[in-house]
Structure 1
Amino acid sequence: MTIRFFKYTFRYLALALLVSTLACNKQLDLSPTDSIIDPGRTFRTVNDLNGGLLGAYSGLTYNTIYGISLITDECTLPSENGTGGGVATYRWRIDPSNTTITASFGEYYVAIDRANRVLGAMGAVTAKGDEETALKNQYRGEALALRAYCHFQLLQSYAEAYEPTAMGVPYMDTAVNSFPSRNTFGEVAAAIERDLQLAKTLVPADFDDNTRITLPAISAIQARVALYEKKWDDAVTYATEAIDALPLASAADFPGIWKDMKESEVIWKLKQVAGSNDGLIGSVYFNRNVALYVPSFELINLFDKTHDVRYPAYIRFDDTRGAGNSEYLVNKYAGTSGSLGLADIKLFRTGEMYLIRAEALAEKNQAGAGADDLNALRAARISGYTPQTFAGKDALITALYTERFKELAFEGQRLFDLRRRGLSVTRNPEDAINALGAVLLKPGQKGYVYPIPDAETKANKNMKQNPGY
């Protein structure tokens, strides 16, 4: 990628390998030079490879989730928010310099570069004995899957469209300082598939640390990728693998997921660390004094407030906050009373896998089987639920999109779901009081597809900007 990008890559990886920790100091500023990282000296043992891999994992943040929620109809801007944070994004005043939106571009490529450096060092590191050989293979599989995941996250945000020939993003499979052009969506998706298929042969079945990439996590990533590629058979296969590995949470356990008290149905999560600003996604939405963004009435009114376990888990009602303040707050990621706003980010859950499989089955004209999955998910979330029947494929898909809106609220999927079917972002009047007219975002308008960061297009003449910017 560009010089600007690699300046941060070398600094982060060096720090990660020196301290073998997930924390990093974003205030350091070292000159960009390949001499900073000498793979032959940095990666000498299998444990060094693990240190580098942890550094790659540490590059993941919640920026994508934050930006998506502000753009879509999930949340609204309350009058009590006088900070200005994210307001331009919420009002769809989006351009290539909007860092709330574009920060994820560099962050994912930092993680990709770290993974590539680990992969590039594999051949020079000798494993001692069967145990180290198995660990080395596992680390290779994790690095491949992490590289694939990050590229897919970039595709979701920055691809011109989710079509094979549309402009995608540069696919980086080596750690080199270069000026790449954009591969097509289809080319990147194919490379992601190859990485995931190979990773699946390397990560052991008994590895179950859900803060890292396990076999069920690889299946979950494959299922999501297949959904975007419209490969319905693959989506069914991979979603089923993930579902079989981790069943849905019980109604009793579900609320504990969001307080980090339960691990039920959590396939892969991004561990958040106390004392790190990067770990406070809940503070973006949830604050006892000032609420920056609050759940939309459109979303609130979709829930059965009495019987749906998701409602109190996702949304907090507090009518004691005083005149002029919102009575509704985002409860997801609220964390515990001792760590307000600190909660692990759930990247993949079994609930999503049911929705992926149901949609793929509907597209395969197996609406009955798809309805079974939707009804199973609802029954797990809503006490006393009565299974529904649907007139056909279109009716089922409409219901699935509503369910995705509820089930995956504030998890970074809403905008991409709308993009998958060319649907506009619409805000109800009661949710747009402070939107300054930002009530309808149609395909083709600024913000519907993210812009490539201004710094990237200026530094790299091969990096084409998305249409409309």
Structure 2
Amino acid sequence: MNYLKNQRIVMLLLILAGLSSSCTKLDLSPTDTIDPTKAFRNAEDVNMGILGVYNLIDNDLGELSSTVSDENMYPIENTVGNSDAFRWTYTGANGSVTSFYYQSYQAIDRANRVLAGMEKLNNTGEEALLNQYKGELLALRGYLHFELARAYASGYEAGQMGMAYMTVSEISYPAREDFMSYIGKVKADLQAAKPLVEPGLNKVNRINKTAVAAIQARVALYEKNWPDAITYSSEVINSLPLAARAEFKDIWTDKSNKEVAWKLSRPVGTDLSSIGAFYFRQSGGYVLLAPSFKLINSFDVNNDIRFTAYIQHDPNRPGNKSKYLVNKFAGSAANPGLVDIKLFRTGEMYLIRAEAKAESQGDANADLNALRQARIAGYSPVNLTNKTDLLNAIALERFKELAFEGHRFFDLKRHKKNVERLDEDVVNASGAKTLTPAQAQYNLPLPNLEVQVNKNIKQNPNY
């Protein structure tokens, strides 16, 4: 991307940021900003607006789940931050758990403003491309709203509080919607987007048709719509096979896009975040979050390719320093911690389909065995006939396969299970060993300021 295009993107981001803020003197036309009605003149401008939406999407739920669940531990050498999240002392005043709320709605607002700007474009000769961009924006809006609900909904069923679904950019004071009603709007955006987006997998750093199917599969899992979960996960699986065991590690060093349906690019030389820096601080060589012993103990360390792909064992680290490090986002020697963020993979789809089949048809062993055979050398297939045993096996496989990718905490919440940490994982947790559904922190809080300003919105229970 040349310098001029970079400058144009920066200008569009500034416009979008300015449009996302309010002005008390609404009758005045500012002289130092670009008229928003003229911000989008052609497909290139719309594309830059879309990039502005992507710019706000990060690994937030991966970081949140790593911190508040049982897949990581807070080592003694970490003296610099995120202790409130790991120790479950957070409230709506803690940015460690509330910043995702604001960032998501800011991204949604950008998407809505670009969609509104597109409506004014006529006879550009770029209608096909603009339709594709419209699909991308609708898919982004649906995805962002769904991830908000994963993080902040009071529960994942009818009668629980979802979020406020925003389809226009406006200053308003909306109430939270019922979770199922809210999910219906997510599904509508995804359904409208699907026939419009890029059909192929040539650009996995942008939303494509397979990525939309992957989002739909995840949504169906959370709403317990087992037929849809099977249909959409199968659509992804049929388009995007699992990586071979020999190729699997290359996914995490960006040498391969095997089984990746959608990822966020993190090029060298940009100001985009380094995902690995959340787990390891290069300056000083501190492990900020280490893999939990509970996670480590779940692997066949000698035969499971995921163990060495995800976890580094360094027995030479001195003293009380953690001997285990998160390796999944290690990056390269030249650019430590900098790798693309994989949002949707085929491995997740096998586990979605397995769970949906276990809950409905009961024939989930084939998917569970297929994934394990792709990951574990010398694996012998199993045939679990008890539904509870099968669901427990799938949950364990999700724990391993999707480690650090933003699923564990929300998987436990889906099943209303306690977060249970091992004794060796709470040496620096101030007693934070068990988190139950009855405790406030089992649901992440909305920001206090949001609740104070918007009297129509309710905080999650017990805060």
- Paired residue for 1:244? 238
**SS of 1:336 mapped into structure 2:** coil
- Which shifted more, 16-25 or 446-455? 16-25
Could you tell me how far apart the structure 2 residues matched to 1:21 and 1:242 are? 34
- Paired residue for 1:260? 254
- Paired residue for 2:355? 359
How far the C-alpha of 1:458 sits from its partner, in A, is 1.5
Match of 2:53 among 53, 56, 69: 56
How far the C-alpha of 1:118 sits from its partner, in A, is 1.3
Task: Give the AA of the match of 1:300.
Answer: I
Match of 1:92 among 88, 92, 104: 88
**SS of 2:344 mapped into structure 1:** strand
Task: Give the AA of the match of 1:20.
Answer: I
The reply on whether 1:119 has 2:115 as its aligned counterpart is yes
- Paired residue for 2:63? 66
Match of 2:428 among 431, 434, 452: 434
- Paired residue for 1:327? 323
Could you tell me how far apart the structure 2 residues matched to 1:126 and 1:184 are? 37
**SS of 2:89 mapped into structure 1:** coil
Structure 2: where are the runs of 5+ without partners?
none
Task: Give the AA of the match of 1:113.
Answer: D
Task: Give the AA of the match of 1:367.
Answer: G
Q: Alpha carbons of 1:256 and 1:396: their partners in 2 closer, same or farther (altered >3 Å)?
A: same
**SS of 1:101 mapped into structure 2:** helix
**SS of 1:20 mapped into structure 2:** helix
**SS of 1:88 mapped into structure 2:** helix
Task: Give the AA of the match of 1:179.
Answer: Y
- Paired residue for 1:5? none
| Pairs within 5 Å for 1:293-442 | 293-364=289-360, 366-368=361-363, 370-442=364-436
CA displacement, residues 124-175 of structure 1 (integer Å, 9 cap, x when unaligned):
112533xx22110100000000000000001001111101221110000001
Match of 1:45 among 42, 53, 77: 42
Could you tell me how far apart the structure 2 residues matched to 1:37 and 1:61 are? 28
Task: Give the AA of the match of 1:414.
Answer: R
How far the C-alpha of 1:269 sits from its partner, in A, is 0.7
Match of 1:143 among 137, 147, 163: 137
CA displacement, residues 363-415 of structure 1 (integer Å, 9 cap, x when unaligned):
11x333x1100000000000111001102221110000000000000000001
- Paired residue for 1:283? 277
Q: Alpha carbons of 1:351 and 1:74: their partners in 2 closer, same or farther (altered >3 Å)?
A: same
How far the C-alpha of 1:94 sits from its partner, in A, is 1.1
Could you tell me how far apart the structure 2 residues matched to 1:463 and 1:188 are? 14
The answer to whether the Cα contact below 8 Å between 1:64 and 1:101 also exists between their aligned partners in 2 is: no
- Paired residue for 1:181? 175
Q: Alpha carbons of 1:164 and 1:140: their partners in 2 closer, same or farther (altered >3 Å)?
A: same
Q: Alpha carbons of 1:127 and 1:221: their partners in 2 closer, same or farther (altered >3 Å)?
A: farther
**SS of 1:124 mapped into structure 2:** coil
The reply on whether 1:104 has 2:100 as its aligned counterpart is yes
- Paired residue for 1:19? 8
Could you tell me how far apart the structure 1 residues matched to 2:268 and 2:87 are? 32
Could you tell me how far apart the structure 2 residues matched to 1:206 and 1:250 are? 21
Could you tell me how far apart the structure 1 residues matched to 2:37 and 2:6 are? 13
How far the C-alpha of 1:274 sits from its partner, in A, is 3.2
**SS of 1:268 mapped into structure 2:** strand
- Which shifted more, 28-37 or 267-276? 28-37
**How many residues are paired up?**
447
**SS of 2:188 mapped into structure 1:** helix
- Paired residue for 2:79? 82
How far the C-alpha of 1:96 sits from its partner, in A, is 0.1
Structure 1: where are the runs of 5+ without partners?
1-15
Task: Give the AA of the match of 1:44.
Answer: R
Could you tell me how far apart the structure 2 residues matched to 1:299 and 1:158 are? 25
**SS of 2:287 mapped into structure 1:** coil
How far the C-alpha of 1:208 sits from its partner, in A, is 2.8
TM-score, scaled relative to structure 2: 0.93
The answer to whether the Cα contact below 8 Å between 2:98 and 2:447 also exists between their aligned partners in 1 is: yes
Q: Alpha carbons of 1:106 and 1:246: their partners in 2 closer, same or farther (altered >3 Å)?
A: same
Could you tell me how far apart the structure 1 residues matched to 2:322 and 2:400 are? 20
The answer to whether the Cα contact below 8 Å between 2:201 and 2:261 also exists between their aligned partners in 1 is: no
Could you tell me how far apart the structure 1 residues matched to 2:13 and 2:289 are? 28
How far the C-alpha of 1:444 sits from its partner, in A, is 2.5
How far the C-alpha of 1:460 sits from its partner, in A, is 1.2
| Percent of pairs with identical residues | 47
Task: Give the AA of the match of 2:142.
Answer: A
Task: Give the AA of the match of 1:291.
Answer: V
The answer to whether the Cα contact below 8 Å between 1:115 and 1:146 also exists between their aligned partners in 2 is: yes
